[in-house]
Structure 1
Amino acid sequence: MSIKVMTMVWDSPAFSGNTKLIMLCLADYANDEGLCWPSIDSVARKCSLSRSTVKAQLKKLGEQGVLSAQRRKKTTEEGTKTNDTNLYQIHISVLKNTLEEGGEFNPRSKSDLGQNSAGGRSKSDPKPSLDPSDIKDPPKAPLSENSESNSEPTAEGKKRKRSAVSLPDDFTVTDAMQQWYAEQGFTLNVQAATQQWRDAMLARGQKYSDWIAAWRNGMRNANKWASERGGSQQQSMFSRMGRSDGNYGPPEGYR
């Protein structure tokens, strides 16, 4: 085992994955001059890799110039010649160059994107992350004319999300809300529908951060049910409002 060679392999950024694993294995067999002669089977067993993977990586290292292999023959007791283990030479000078250059053997593109300078810092900005959670200032969707902000300004001018609260005791249908109701072409009486909706909300202890939006969605549902079941069964529809399965209320995002 050569601690000297192994340390250089550990510190070199030119190797990764199976390539680094095999280089560490060879360094474990090598002397300080980088000479070793383990069999393919020994390297494969020690690295928990297949023979084909080891052979492919050794060929790659040879093409990169960091390793050279000398085929050897041996004579058996019967006098016949057979293959012996290869003699591998880890080229220490090339290995040192990878430490100084801080790069890989493979040709790199002319772009500086993602490459490191000699000091270890990137020469250019990193590639943008595809993870939305990594974006410092994610784009915000513009509010539509009918959408309502779910936040309120703070003393510093920033906005904070409003917390969900129970239905206010003084909740009333304003002129603007009645105008919106009339524009929808609804058939139910706005006051009657609102009273039934209010009872349903209080009975379930529902909480929302935007009760006007909750009311609008409740009115849509109430009129939809009335239209589906017919005007003569409006009272049955109002009973249904009181025993909603939980889907009654504003769209997702207002909860």
Structure 2
Amino acid sequence: MSIRVTTLVWDRFPGSGSELLMMQALSDWCSDDGESLYPSIAYLAAKMRVSESQTRRVLHSLIEQGYVVVIGNPAGGAPGMTREYRLDVDKLNDLPLIPQIAEHRDRNEARRRQRATGRMSARGSAHARGSMDARDGSHGCKGTGSAHATQDVRETLVKRESGCASRLSQDWKVPEAWKTWAVAARPEFTSEFVDEIGERFRKHWDGAAKTNWKAVWEKWITEERARSSLASGASGVVAAGSMAGNWWEGGESAIAVQGAAVGARAKRIDEPLPHYLVVVAKKSGKGPWVEFVVRNARRYGPEFYNQVVDALDELLPADFYA
């Protein structure tokens, strides 16, 4: 599920009724770039509470309008060979806000400014004596100069935070000490692969201001570990050497190596690893990974599970539906 794309649909998609409902259903499945979409018509119809024929008509309309793009298996085919779609996120971004949404936001902003003006007027114009300095590094940086007693406390805190925070530069690279920590935390990662993660990290946080980037990096690596640990019921470190054995249990790097070996597309930035695992498993054909991927999909809820079953239908063992 992409909250970013869902918000774009609510705020900018000009359609209504069944078209809006389908766009929301698709955004509930897709990644932040609008991809990793391969729902069946039957499941879309069930989610929208309409007939399959109406679902096809609505989907074809969205394709003709350019909001939905077919990027894989355009002709359909055997059971399980569902089309792969992409929501055109750029097209949505270029649309203006829905007038009702824009009006609602303008009203909220006007009320916020009115409340802020009222607070400032109520405080008068008295000045505080002396100056306010940060002591003992209590907030990570030193602030100097005089301050007005009438200044809103919340505004002061925001200014202090922005004064202490910093942004990653466009040519930022992972510091060697951080890289050493990451390799120690993820023994299956090479130094070169950590550099790739660092590039994704920089792009993800582009423009963001943080006071402790090292803590953000460590949290990023920790969550990367959680996303990569896909073994059934497992949580924690992926077993060392699993990359050389069961690639489907070996974490992101092992899955990426297998994907390259079978000609699968590269994993997209911010694409959930379970989604990409389905792509690689489908390219890899029949094998023990199919049962693992389907079993693992149950952990992410019935919607994702049904989506995976549809995608891998032709690879499932003969007794799967028994």
TM-score (norm 2): 0.28
Instruction: Specify which structure has the higher proportion of strand.
Output: 1
TM-score (norm 1): 0.36
Instruction: Specify which structure has the higher proportion of helix.
Output: 2
**Higher RCO (Cα < 8 Å, 6 or more apart):** 2
